Structure 1
Amino acid sequence: MDDVIGFILELDKLKGVTRKVKPLGLDRYENPAEHSWQIALAAAALQPYAAQPVDLPRVVSLLLVHDVGEIDTGDVMAFVETGLSERKAAERRAVERIFGVLPETQAQALVALWDEFEDEETPEARFAHAIDRAMPVLLNLANNGQSWRENGISHERVVARVAEPIRRGCPRLWTHIEARLAVARQEGLFGA
């Protein structure tokens, strides 16, 4: 029990990591714990639009573990493309450390979920990735491009980073977002 409680308390540190986008109506940046909660519920709402039938509890599990490594590594904006392999290796080490607090069987199961998310090979992982990539876009569209403008992110960079994962996992969501991105471009909501 002590190991499980230690793990639960270790997860609390995710609340102290800062992301680059602000929650709607708030003058602070969100944290990955809030992000994970929101995309888990977004997946439930968007499940009927998944590219393939998905096991929703598995999708939610993937979304809840996908950013746990940021406890050690911090968050890097979704639109940053450089250093990706180094960041992923560091995040993998962090995930092994954090999940490793648990008894071995539980730790292995959670690392396997993290790997599944990263590999994007199952319908659940592709759908989870779609939701994960869509959320910062949806927030930026709703808050006048706040993090795009603050960080010099262009329309082309957003599309290059999110189009394929969203299209692959939730095509109707991409159709919706693509049209809204075009309007946002006309309105000058991008930083470059």
Structure 2
Amino acid sequence: MTTEGFNLRWHYKLPMDLHSLLDEALKLKRLKRSGWVQRGLLDPESVAAHSWGVAWLAVILCPPQLDRLKVLEMAIIHDLAEVRVGDITPRDGVSSERKQKLEREAIDELLSGLADAPAVLSLWEEFELGESAEARFTRVLDKLDMGLQALHYQVAEEGDVQGILDSALKSVSGSGFEYLLEGEEE
């Protein structure tokens, strides 16, 4: 496969800024999900692994009336700010207002050199606020992936994850996906 004919530099205002953004985003592969770390799991999943899980769920579960590409984009970017602020959980004692402010500042800074920053920021904000059917669906997938990971850890007896599983079940209630977390066939 060749990239001949593609001008990839239009995406970023300065070439070095693109390298910095890509390098920083790659750190999500090493950033462990705090909820699992706080529960003492030996091999907690990374934020990037979680985002991949949400994207995979989007591919296989997105209903035809929703814009799958938009759902996928939201799945991929929804936790990007965590590369700067960390994976803040309720156990951290940070108010939701403070968390939102920190994440907004981080995402603004991360994407500041991106030519398409307004579109990416708009998607991120739409997800955060749950403003569209796609955003609400992606938010359900976010919690569904968390619950599926909790089930994985529970079956492997890697730690006490019942609280996270209960939270995920509550969050996906009414979505039609509850059975995936309850171990029952639909």
Same fold at TM > 0.5: yes
Gaps of 5+ in 1: 182-192
CA distance in 2, matches of 1:84, 1:34: 24
Which of 86, 98, 106 in structure 2 is aligned with 1:94? 106
Deviates more, 1:27-36 or 1:13-22: 13-22
Quote the residue 2:140 is aligned against: 130
Quote the residue 2:160 is aligned against: 149
Does 2:115 match 1:108?
Answer: no
Gaps of 5+ in 2: 1-8, 10-14
Provide closer, same or farther for how the CA distance between residues 162 and 95 of structure 1 changes in structure 2, counting only shifts above 3 A: farther
Deviation at 1:175, TM superposition (A): 4.3
- What fraction of aligned residue pairs are identical, expressed as a percent? 25
CA distance in 1, matches of 2:26, 2:84: 12
Rg larger in structure? 2
Provide closer, same or farther for how the CA distance between residues 147 and 88 of structure 1 changes in structure 2, counting only shifts above 3 A: farther
Matched AA of 1:95: I
Quote the residue 1:12 is aligned against: 26
After TM superposition, the score normalised by the length of structure 1 is 0.73
Deviation at 1:136, TM superposition (A): 1.4
| Per-residue deviation, residues 22-81 of structure 1 (Å, max 9, x unmatched) | 8xxx94211111111121011111114xxx821000000011111000011111347878
Deviation at 1:180, TM superposition (A): 3.9
Does 2:176 match 1:172?
Answer: yes
Matched AA of 2:138: A
Please tell me whether the aligned partners of residues 126 and 135 of structure 2 are also in contact (alpha carbons under 8 angstroms).
yes
Provide closer, same or farther for how the CA distance between residues 81 and 113 of structure 1 changes in structure 2, counting only shifts above 3 A: farther
Q: RMSD in angstroms over aligned alpha carbons?
A: 3.0
Provide closer, same or farther for how the CA distance between residues 147 and 55 of structure 1 changes in structure 2, counting only shifts above 3 A: farther
CA distance in 1, matches of 2:45, 2:89: 12
CA distance in 1, matches of 2:105, 2:59: 30
Matches within 5 A, 1:42-53: 42-48=57-63, 53=65
What count of residue pairs does the alignment treat as equivalent?
165
CA distance in 1, matches of 2:92, 2:142: 15
SS of structure 2 residue aligned to 1:149: coil
Quote the residue 2:170 is aligned against: 163
Deviation at 1:21, TM superposition (A): 3.5
Matches within 5 A, 1:19-58: 19=33, 20-21=35-36, 27-48=42-63, 53-58=65-70
Please tell me whether the aligned partners of residues 130 and 167 of structure 1 are also in contact (alpha carbons under 8 angstroms).
no
Please tell me whether the aligned partners of residues 21 and 139 of structure 1 are also in contact (alpha carbons under 8 angstroms).
no
After TM superposition, the score normalised by the length of structure 2 is 0.75
